[in-house]
A and B are shown apart, each in its own frame.
Chain A
């Protein structure tokens, strides 16, 4: 059997040996559970003595939104220091003189961080039993949301790792990663809405109606995690009448996340190679 990459093995060993990891799992579940139970409590307070089964979808939406928020918060935090932390600890140079390629170091670091995030995701699955208790949601929707979380996690981790490779200091890398992830989660939605309003205003001035959503708006809404997730959950979260794209919205989102992640990881591996320190990828 092929041996695990030593960096991955070391990262997993260090991460799971530390008392912080179980603490993070506990906190994560407490926050997520707190959201769901708090929501149920509020619903129950507004209509005591019974709980509407139709509310299970709302619980699921709240739970998923909370999960997305936590992922956007946890993943950059876990990944933004993986390379810069090695640099700050003065262990990176020695690692780079071993037979491990820079790309394998980047990938191992990322896989280790993603493994821990995946653990958080899977540990939270029992919370979804609250939803099943009352029915109202298809299992395929839950699987869809889980897949959505996994590809989102991949992208956020790739962003964190590449910032960590590019910036020398973990502080700068962390702030930049959070900034980029915030733009993806919130900014793309706002930008999409803003551009859509501009188009609509133009159409109104020309006394016409928009026949289809402009391409750029469609692209932004198909890559905005909040809007994509709400659509997976069956909510109407779009700007305008929509337009035909090459892929369904979830396909656009998944492909964008995966392609961007792969490009960021390849670039990080290239950038980490000491022989490329002062070279530009494109001249």
Chain B
């Protein structure tokens, strides 16, 4: 069952398309990473899902509820953490969470225990009586995450939750998200720190200029980089001739000469890959290394977002 269904979502600001026919389905219990350069439409998409923005076209549902027609039902289901957010001065961490618990109509008797549990979950149990404006940025981010959880939502929409954090705070935030994953929450998370997203997410969607340019598991998206595998071919001699040979070879999308070896983008299957190795050896080259380089998410992101431009 899909927790989030986005169909042909479009949002226009003046003449600029923030989202253009954006379609995405997110299964319940999955952690979905939304990647894209600045201005790609990630925050717009998340704001629409959080019922903070009306789309100009298309539909979006969360838990089966339409975000435009049934915003109240959607709000009960989601925990939303915006990319930029503030905290209230003059409130203690526990009061801050109790305030939001009350705003979600959690019975007064349950709030103290809930607040305690949530502060423990985000490692802020020792900050219960600290005024929120005095917390560090990393602590505020974790507190905001705890705030998202006060009504135990099934879906979390986290817009750049780790932005601006130092490595330690990022690691702590990552750990909390892992815990939430274990709690079987559906999480839509956007981030610029791609290796971290690859670690945390089951699926990745890449947005560019409001369009979805890739969507799938982290492995699929990474492998789908230009629809090709990256091969490293290291030969003992005549590298220039090898590059020339590879350039004219069917299935080779591109060839880059590195000092001492060649890197090719190969679109053929594994059999064709074996045949290529045999042909190279048959033509007299001494092959020192013939291996597939695993592309990472960053490569995929750079390649796919570059393609749109």
Contacts and interface: CB of A to CB of B under 8 A. Distances in A.
A9 B76 CA distance: 22
Contact of B78 (A6, A97, A274, A277): A97
Given A10-B88, A14-B90, A94-B85, A274 B80 contact: no
Interface stretch (B25-33, B103-111, B240-248, B262-270): B103-111
Contacts of A211: none
B282 interface: no
A17 B85 CA distance: 23
Interface residues of A, number: 24
Given A14-B90, A17-B90, A97 B68 contact: no
Nearest to A100: B103
A95 B99 CA distance: 10
Interface residues of B, number: 33
A98 B75 contact: yes
A91 B85 contact: yes
Interface string B98-120: 01101111001000000000000
B75 A99 contact: yes
Nearest to B69: A275
Contact of A94 (B54, B89, B147): B147
Contact of A95 (B71, B76, B103): B103
Interface stretch (B45-53, B176-184, B199-207, B210-218): B45-53
Contacts of B71: 274-275
Chain A binding site: helix, strand, loop or mixed by DSSP?
helix
Nearest to B102: A6
Contacts of B104: 98-99
A97 B91 contact: no
B51 A275 contact: yes
Contacts of A90: 82, 84-86
A14 B51 contact: no
Nearest to A276: B54
A13 B89 CA distance: 11
Contacts of A3: 102, 108
A98 B96 CA distance: 14
Contacts of A9: 99, 102
Interface string A79-111: 000000000011101111111100000000000
Contacts of A18: 90
Contact of B52 (A7, A14, A96): A96
A103 to B, nearest CB: 13
B95 interface: yes
A14 B85 CA distance: 19
A278 interface: yes
Contacts of B105: 99
B87 interface: yes
A278 B84 contact: no
A14 B91 contact: yes
Contact of A278 (B54, B76, B102, B147): B54
B287 interface: no
Interface of B: 47, 50-54, 68, 71-72, 75-76, 78, 80, 82, 84-91, 95, 99-100, 102-105, 108, 144, 147, 151
29 contacts: A6-B99, A7-B103, A9-B99, A13-B90, A13-B91, A13-B95, A14-B91, A89-B88, A90-B84, A90-B86, A91-B87, A93-B52, A93-B80, A93-B82, A93-B85, A97-B50, A97-B51, A97-B52, A97-B78, A99-B72, A99-B75, A99-B76, A274-B51, A274-B52, A274-B53, A274-B71, A275-B54, A275-B71, A277-B53
